[in-house]
Chain A
Amino acid sequence: MEDIGGSSSNDNNNNGGIIKEQDRLLPIANVGRLMKRILPQNAKISKEAKETMQECVSEFISFVTSEASEKCRKERRKTVNGDDICWALATLGFDNYAEPMRRYLHRYREVEVDHNKVNLQEKGNSPEEKDDELFKLSNRGVGL
């Protein structure tokens, strides 16, 4: 996904302590697109619904990430990896999500290894292929 608010441009006044809205929440267009994917062709989604879902999914991500971060803090580690997220999902009672997420993570790592090999062979970066791979992964994730 594109990092819309991540790049610090001259228009933004970056205050260290204040967390901006675009850093706290997911981009609303991406949330709307994900919601639209599961609905029929002619369905419409109101702005209020998108904003509500934006709040919900952002809070869920922070909820799971804080649990994983707490585990890393106890183990004196600084990097939160995918295994910590899967562990956090299982610990919080989201067992139905933890198992598909673990399988997704396993396949993602396989694809990354293959992709690095291809890059070493070709010695040239091709962003379109990377986007295609990620798109396939996201489709596969939805299938799981």
Chain B
Amino acid sequence: MNCLCEKDSGLFSSHSTAPYVLGCPSWATSEFEVQRSSMSRSLSSKVDVLPQQCHNSKTFNFQFQEQDASSTKSTDQSYPEVGTVQSGQISVQHSSTDSTLIRNEGKSMGCVIRSFMGSQDFPFPPPLLDHRPILAHIACHYADPCYSGLVAAAYSPQSKPVETAPVRIPLQLDFAEEPIYVNSKQYHAILRRRQYRAKLEALNKPIKDRKPYLHESRHQHALKRARGAGGRFLNTKKQLQSNHTPGNIAESKMHHIENYRDGADVSYAFNSDARNMQNDAADKGGGTTQQPLFVYM
């Protein structure tokens, strides 16, 4: 740390010795360079901005002061201490030459100390010729502690694209030890449905089993109804035709008895009951039309 401070003071002392040797215009140029370097350090601006400032410094002093004013405004928006330092430098311009140089050195030393304290991992400075890499390093290190809010602000738009991707959220089950991962969009809906199902089970605990049929009368009617080959119901025309041939009637009755006695065909009986109910509903609703019967057969 002491070596860095000594080298920094050496740099500024070399800058200060140069204008005494040369004449007034060279003194003015070196003063501008010192101010530009201190401005760039305090502002923590990027290296790309420096050529623009060089170009501006070549023009009239009025534009240069205007540039100072605009930079002061920008620093006030971002960092208040840097604004105060900038205003101090602006006021220093109007004072005498010797005190100007001394105060410039003091201000720049303060800036260096601040940047050094801000970032513990300050790299060893390169030789005098490479002046911009130092500024770049200082700018990079200076930006990290000052603009942490910007980093946090930058984090929130990054989280948005992550949310668009389907993310699995662990869903804790009461009766299971391991969590089950579900779609994050459905998490709250699943919890809501689970609560509702629990409430439903509490209410409907005695009536949990399935009924084979809903209406006893319809069930009896389905049992009495004539059935054809394969156990399907006969429609009206086929039933009339089958009346003329007693052999078919006997065969259908045998099928009926077999289906009724076998336990394996209970599911088919259930389906036939359901179809019977639908046929009854269709008959009641639309009258005795052949087309609905054909559809439901």
Contacts and interface: CB of A to CB of B under 8 A. Distances in A.
Interface residues of B, number: 33
Interface in B252-278: 266-267, 270-271, 274-275, 277-278
B281 A93 contact: no
B189 A63 contact: yes
Contacts of B210: 21, 51
Contact of A128 (B215, B270, B275, B286): B286
B238 interface: no
Interface in B166-218: 166, 183, 185-186, 189-190, 192-193, 196, 200, 203-204, 207, 210-211, 214-217
A20 B207 contact: yes
- Chain B binding site: helix, strand, loop or mixed by DSSP? helix
Residue of A29, A32, A93 most packed against chain B (CB within 10 A): A29
B23 interface: no
Interface string A54-69: 0000010011001100
Contacts of B149: none
B281 A62 contact: no
A2 B200 contact: no
Contact of B193 (A21, A32, A47, A66): A66
Interface string A63-96: 1001100100000000000000000000111000
A17 interface: yes
A20 B204 CA distance: 8
Given A47-B267, A92-B185, A2 B193 contact: no
B51 interface: no
Contacts of B289: 128
16 contacts: A2-B277, A4-B274, A9-B215, A11-B214, A11-B215, A12-B214, A18-B204, A29-B275, A47-B266, A66-B189, A67-B189, A92-B183, A92-B185, A92-B186, A92-B189, A93-B186
Top 6 closest A-B pairs, CB basis?
Answer: A29-B274, A47-B267, A2-B281, A93-B185, A67-B189, A93-B183
Interface of A: 2, 4-5, 9, 11-12, 17-22, 24, 27-29, 32, 46-47, 51, 59, 62-63, 66-67, 70, 91-93, 127-128, 131
Given A28-B270, A47-B267, A92-B189, 16 more contacts: A4-B274, A5-B214, A11-B216, A18-B204, A19-B203, A20-B207, A28-B274, A47-B266, A59-B193, A62-B193, A66-B192, A66-B196, A70-B189, A93-B166, A127-B285, A131-B286
